[in-house]
Amino acid sequence: MQFILFHTDAAGQARLGRIITPHGEIATPAFAPVGTQATVKALDPRDLHELGAELILSNTYHLYLRPGADVVEEMGGLHRFMGWDGPILTDSGGFQVFSLAERRKVGDEGVEFRSHIDGSRHFFTPEMVIRVQEQLGADIIMVLDECAVPDDRAYNEQALARTHAWAERCRAAQSRDDQALFGIVQGGIFPDLRRRSAKFLVDLDFPGYAIGGLSVGESKEQMYATLDVTVPLLPADKPRYLMGVGAPEDLLEGVARGVDLFDCVLPTRLARNAALLTHTGRINIRNARFERDPAPIEEGCSCYTCRHFSRAYLRHLFKAGEILAARLATIHNVHFLLQLMRDIRAAIAADRFSAFKKAFLADYFHSSQR
């Protein structure tokens, strides 16, 4: 993997770059739609290409449990299995395992957990999640980390020690040279812990750095403040990835602080709940006021859905429980975020990111539609 930094906005930290992977290039700042179970829900690979997605994320925890990493490997790896020939990033499974709460038990060696599918017992170690991610074969893979409650200092101190030890073990366990292994900075909302974590990981010299443990319950202000502390400690010549973040305002705030990569289930999950993104805020298309509305979700939107279908039709599909509802809504929401990233990149290139951000947020939050 290579990372080329083209330009940093004259007025701030927003940066324009490109990540080059064995399966193609990713213009940054980039947003990656999430394909948890080897499919971005309701979309097929052709949809993703047409939407201009250049990177998708898939989840090691889910694929390890079902269909199993050995099945994916035997079927030629994740790219071939899911029919997506572009870049893929897999997480380490750590975040999902730590979200299982009572269903997991962590120790220095690794983390034991019970499957959410059938209750079966499993044990993830740093070495094993690397092995699994090598079987899956993504272009960018992640270290095993422990994601602690963001404002629990004692927990974060303890978790950070493990996260760092695991990062070293993951680095040592890596056997493939065609996958870029990213380190993950943790430390909750505590600036000194974030500094400690960034320093430790940068010393290990990863090809990229993620910022983990955010968007997990802390306030927006705490998230942005943590980015303010953390991002400047990461090397300028490596991509910076803010994990699990995808609300439009957070993408803008992240980019403003020098983040290059984002992923989130937000656009796809909202879509399945009939919540559609527009430049003047979210609308719920099930609302009765759309019953006879011949307009597209958003005037001027160039997505397949907006070019062909009315709000009235989308409302009907949701009310009738039709599968096409999820698909058309997902196409729109993913387009919205990918178009936002294209607009962001154009703004950075023209040194007008700050004005772009301000104008976008003014429209998005001061709408009568919300």
| Active site amino acids | 91, 263
DSSP 279-305: TTEEEETTSGGGTT--S-SSTT--SHH
Residue 23 in the binding site for its own copies (CB under 8 A): no
Residues 328-347 that bind its own copies (CB under 8 A): 328
Residue 76 in the binding site for its own copies (CB under 8 A): yes
Residue 351 in the binding site for its own copies (CB under 8 A): no
Quick one: which of 309, 214, 241, 316 has its CA closest to 274?
316
Residue 284 in the binding site for its own copies (CB under 8 A): no
Residue 323 in the binding site for its own copies (CB under 8 A): yes
Number of residues that bind its own copies (CB under 8 A): 39
Considering only 5, 161, 312, 361, the residue that binds its own copies (CB under 8 A) is: 312
Q: b/e string for 114-135 if b means 16 or more Cβ within 10 A?
A: beeeeeeebebbbbbbbebbbb
Task: Tally the residues of the chain.
Answer: 370
Quick one: which of 213, 332, 323 has its CA closest to 271?
332
Considering only 121, 292, 366, 370, the residue that binds its own copies (CB under 8 A) is: 292
Considering only 102, 118, 221, 294, the residue that binds its own copies (CB under 8 A) is: 294
> What are the residues whose beta carbons fall under 8 Å from the beta carbon of 316, sequence distance 6 or more?
none
Phi, psi values for residue 337, rounded to 5°: -70, -40
Residue 288 in the binding site for its own copies (CB under 8 A): no
Determine which helix (DSSP H) or strand (DSSP E) holds 28, and give its type and residue range: strand 24-28
Beta-carbon count within 10 A of 302 CB: 9
Only one of the segments 216-224, 306-314, 332-340, 354-362 lies at the binding site for its own copies (rule: CB under 8 A); that segment is 306-314
What is the smallest separation between the CB atom of 82 and its own copies, expressed in angstroms?
A: 7
Closer residue to its own copies (CB): 300 or 307: 307
Residue 276 in the binding site for its own copies (CB under 8 A): no
Q: Are 194 and 185 in contact (CB under 8 A)?
A: yes
Residue 75 in the binding site for its own copies (CB under 8 A): yes
Query: Site residues (CB under 8 A) for its own copies?
Result: 37-39, 41-46, 62, 66-67, 71, 74-76, 81-83, 291-292, 294, 304, 308-310, 312-313, 315-317, 319-320, 322-324, 326-328
